[in-house]
Structure 1
Amino acid sequence: MKRLLLSIVTLIIVQFASAQANTTMIDDAPYNYEDVEVRPEFPGGMNQFMDFIGKNFKMPDYEGYGGTIKVAFIIEIDGSVTNVKVVKDLGDGTGAEAKRVVSISPRWSSGEFRGKKVRVLYELPIKIASQG
């Protein structure tokens, strides 16, 4: 009888602990840029962000015909840029260079959802013109 009671209590504690862990992971998940009420913003706005990318992107020896690189990243609650990943790469180092440039971005203003600062997922397309 004591073993049965101990097993039930242990099961309840494990269920409670796993429920807490799931809630934390869901609350910590980033929101899509389009879904937040207050969108994160680069200092000076989007035109300044495009200028920042243009000034800092050093074109590698690219032999292709041009196209679009896509880089996804998270704007954290404090405005820092993390988890930079190349979603679409044109090759010849273009994706790595895009990742480098986005990684050195200054802090953004934070995004908000329902009055609370949240992490926001942003996907940036960078167009590369043909070199030849």
Structure 2
Amino acid sequence: MKNTILIFFFLLIGFKTIAQETIDVDDIKVHTFVQRKAEPKEGIAGFYQSYSKKFNSSKFSSSTGTLDVRLKFIVEKDGTFSDIQVLNESNEGLGEEAIRVLKTMPAWKPATHKGKIVRSVFRLPMKIRADEKTEKSEEVEEKSLSQVLEKKEAISQTYLKSLDNFLVNTDLFEFRCNCTFVKNDHKKEYRYESQDGFVYYQISIEKKDAKEAEQTINDVKSNMINQGFIVSEIQLSGNKAVELTINTRGYGPYGKSKMIILYNEGYFIGIIISSEDPQIADAVTEHFKQTFKLKL
């Protein structure tokens, strides 16, 4: 029996906001950046579970065991989806299946901007892995918590020893990791991936005035607290920052994400560190906080 594990990485949940870019569609604005993004009514984890149960991966094959697809769509004011597009797919027909399932999902909470409900663009990157689930694997899942934690602790220690291998050094910041550069979008968004593919980093930097940044941070904190996520006050590179812990355990390489947001010298900085293994995510984030330096 195949069990489809669906992986959604909601990049920049809630914090890449305020700045507004719009396009006109039939004289109705479709917002790219909003103060509060559209989201599933049942919450992110609930959406994952419902979507994964409906997705049929049995007709697709992959040498790596992972299927990749990215969708782009508009969330209407009533929360329904329109203009669904496939931006890329690793297998022919994968996007069609992704669209089919999305059309069966309940309407979302629409985005809001400046106190008004608005239409908004949403980009949804997904990784899908079809795993054989046998009785033996189910028995493995029943291992004691202590055994699981012991194994994960060993993995985390291995990562800790390798995190000083490489110095990421840009004009805006630096930090140490065992990662390689992946992408730079218009010199505002930097992406890195650990050499074994277990950890993902994303750093976004954009100009904002102090009042605008403060409002953004307060909105994000409120939104995350309402969703039951952990919110903490920390120090990063000598600056006051907010750390958010987002758990979506059981959904592949983005099972746990750490988000850090802060404001410094006219710039709003958003950082995401994600891993399938919660302890690796925690360990890497702690190391990142010790080595990260802003150059603004």
Relative distance call for 1:130 and 1:57 in structure 2 (3 A) is closer
Partner of 2:80: 80
More strand by share: 2
| Aligned-residue offset at 1:79 | 0.8
More helix by share: 1
Relative to structure 2, which stretch is displaced further, 46-55 or 57-66?
57-66
Provide the aligned C-alpha RMSD in A.
2.4
| Aligned-residue offset at 1:129 | 2.7
Q: What TM-score, normalized to structure 2?
A: 0.33
Structure 2 residue 30 is the aligned partner of structure 1 residue 36: no
| Aligned-residue offset at 1:45 | 0.9
**What amino acid sits opposite 1:44 in the alignment?**
E
**What amino acid sits opposite 2:99 in the alignment?**
K
Q: What TM-score, normalized to structure 1?
A: 0.70
Distance in 2 between residues matched to 1:24 and 1:54, nearest whole Å: 33
| Aligned-residue offset at 1:91 | 2.1
The answer on whether the counterparts of 2:31 and 2:121 sit within 8 Å (CA) in structure 1 is yes
Compare relative contact order (CA 8 Å, sep 6+) and give the higher one, 1 or 2: 1
Partner of 1:116: 116
| Aligned-residue offset at 1:72 | 1.0
Write the deviation string for residues 6-46 of structure 1: whole angstroms up to 9, x where unpaired.
xxxxxxxxxxxxxxxxx9658623212xx211222212111
Relative distance call for 1:89 and 1:107 in structure 2 (3 A) is same
Runs of 5+ consecutive residues of structure 2 not aligned to the other structure? 1-22, 133-296
Relative distance call for 1:85 and 1:113 in structure 2 (3 A) is same
| Aligned-residue offset at 1:85 | 1.0
Write the deviation string for residues 47-98 of structure 1: whole angstroms up to 9, x where unpaired.
1111121111111422323242101111100111111111111224211100
Following TM superposition, the consecutive aligned residue runs of length 4 or more in structure 1 with deviations greater than 3 angstroms are 23-27
Mapping 1:1-132, distance limit 5 Å? 25=25, 28-32=28-32, 35-65=33-63, 66-129=66-129
Distance in 2 between residues matched to 1:58 and 1:37, nearest whole Å: 34
Distance in 2 between residues matched to 1:78 and 1:28, nearest whole Å: 14
Distance in 2 between residues matched to 1:81 and 1:126, nearest whole Å: 17
Relative distance call for 1:74 and 1:24 in structure 2 (3 A) is closer
| Aligned-residue offset at 1:128 | 2.3
Partner of 2:217: none
Distance in 2 between residues matched to 1:108 and 1:38, nearest whole Å: 13
Could you tell me the percent identity over the aligned residues? 27
Q: SS of the counterpart of 2:39?
A: coil
Q: SS of the counterpart of 2:46?
A: helix
